[in-house]
Structure 1
Amino acid sequence: METALAPATRPRILVVDDDPEILDLLRRGLAIEGFEVQAVASGEKAVAAVASRPPDAVVLDVMMPGMDGFGVLRALRGGSSVPILFLTARDRVRDRIEGLDAGADDYLAKPFAFGELVARLRALIRRGKPAEREVLTIDDVRLDLASRDVRRGERVLELTQTEFELLRAFMERPNLVLSREAVLELVWGYQPAGVSNVVDVYIGHLRRKLEEGGASRPLHTVRGVGYILRKADA
């Protein structure tokens, strides 16, 4: 017999797709898996829904009339760090990278296994849960695990969920070289299929935010191996 989580504890998922059959399939399937689901059929409605009542995660289709998935991503990333899983029927790596570059935390290419969608959503939500009260500090970079506040000196860094977890992984392991495979395991929990340079893409995002205004580079490339967060006194 199927058992569902109590309504008060069910993670909320916003599903965005203009195809009514896919929208209904996702709504029903995710509800059976224990999620509270809100389904909308346009990008404009998705932006309004997040502003009205932020969900725990968003499943977002790229190909929609009017405001497409890329437009929704850019609109949401202007003021929200809600985890976003991007759905695309396109098989071109460039399109997937564009989604990640616009602020998506993960993606799936259609057709996909429903079980994989559920697993990825749960991983995104786990990463977005409030953390224990702890503050990590490396030189002038300060990361608060509970409030999700990140600062470099007096400057507040506006990070996406994935960027936050990426910085956390390095700040918990200063002066240690992390391979791309290690970063994928620590931050994503698995290796996203199809985009082999997803770590490099997100390192680039994080570096730009850390180095804004001419600040020094804390994240360094170890050619052929991976990346390292070096402390100034190391």
Structure 2
Amino acid sequence: MAAILIVDDDVNILYLVKSQLQQEGHYVYQAENGTEALKALEDHVIDLAIVDVMMPGMDGYELTKKIRGLHDLPVIMLTAKGQIQDKELGFLSGTDDYIVKPFDPKELIFRINALFRRYQKRSSLVITIGNVKINQQNFEVQVGDRTVVLPLKEFELLSYMASKPNQVFTRNQLIEEIWGLDFMGDERTLNVHIKRLRDRFSELTDDFGIKTIRGVGYMVEVQNK
């Protein structure tokens, strides 16, 4: 679960985006202008901001510049302006992504997830669970003094789940994150990769295990010692 700030003077947009994000399990803060947004960022730990461009007083471009100067978090601009020069202004202000209204709320969720992956890889290249180190820079897994090199999809699947240990991921969520929205296969591909990871690491470490949550999906379960 992430804490996400929505900044928009349109209450309908605030309600729409808030509802969609809450369905995904996120905690949502709202602001109707730049001043409220900066106050929320000062008072709370925010993981991502969604900023409208056209707002009274401080517009989205100026707000994004201020966010960039004070915080290290992803920013998505949400705006009715779709001209290339408007997008250029947005990216020059420091936004990470740009979505034009009207938009599909599901597309917003996909873009948020993509940004979190990008920031996570940038800020935490090595995931550590007990004596296991998952290095996302050289795609190696170190178990004690032993180095394990995994096939790419197995590595991506393990590192994605291990980045949030003890969190349950649905099968659809894992397929979308690792294989993409255009994947033409089915859940059997995911199940095979999970089985291979279990077989590999059950013999190497007892610091974590991959647990099946019946009817839902999987999680990396950290063993308490």
Structure-1-length-normalised TM-score: 0.52
Q: Of the two, which has the highest radius of gyration? A: 2
CA distance in 2, matches of 1:131, 1:81: 14
For residue 125 of structure 2, the aligned residue among 116, 132, 142 is 132
Task: Pick from 105, 113, 121 the counterpart of residue 96 of structure 2.
Answer: 105
Partner of 1:73: 64
Q: Could you tell me which residue of structure 1 aligns to residue 83 of structure 2? A: 92
Kept in 2: contact 1:54–1:82 (CA 8 A): no
RMSD: 2.2
Matched, 1:22 2:13: yes
Aligned partners of 1:62 and 1:68: how far apart in 2?
6
Alpha-carbon distance in 2 for matches of 1:70, 1:54: 22
User: Residues 146-197 of structure 1: CA distance to partner in whole angstroms, max 9, x if unpaired?
Assistant: 9xxxxxxxxxxxxxxxxxxxxxxxxxxxxxxxxxxxxxxxxxx99xxxxxxx
List alignment gaps of at least 5 residues for structure 1. 1-9, 135-144, 147-188, 191-234
Whether 1:42 aligns to 2:33 is yes
User: How far did 1:126 drift?
Assistant: 1.8
Matches of 1:49 and 1:104 in 2, distance apart? 18
SS state at 2:45 partner = coil
Whichever residue aligns with residue 61 of structure 1, its letter is D
Q: Give the match's secondary structure for 2:70.
A: coil
1:69 CA displacement = 0.3
Q: Shift of the alpha carbon at 1:51? A: 2.1
Equivalent residues in 2 for 1:2-13 (5 A)?
10-13=1-4
In 2, Cα distance between the equivalents of 1:12 and 1:95?
Answer: 27
1:197-230 deviations in Å (ceiling 9; x for gaps): xxxxxxxxxxxxxxxxxxxxxxxxxxxxxxxxxx
Q: What is the total number of aligned residue pairs between the two structures?
A: 129
Q: Which has the higher contact order (CA 8 A, sep 6+)?
A: 1
Q: Please state how far the C-alpha of 1:63 moved relative to its aligned partner.
A: 0.5
Q: Please, which of 60, 83, 92 is the counterpart of residue 51 of structure 2?
A: 60
Query: Normalized against structure 2, the TM-score is what?
Result: 0.54
Shift of residue 44, structure 1, vs aligned partner: 0.8
Identity %: 38
* d(CA) in 2 for partners of 1:111, 1:25: 12
Structure 1 segments (4+ residues) deviating >4 Å: none
Tell me the residue number matched to 2:144: none
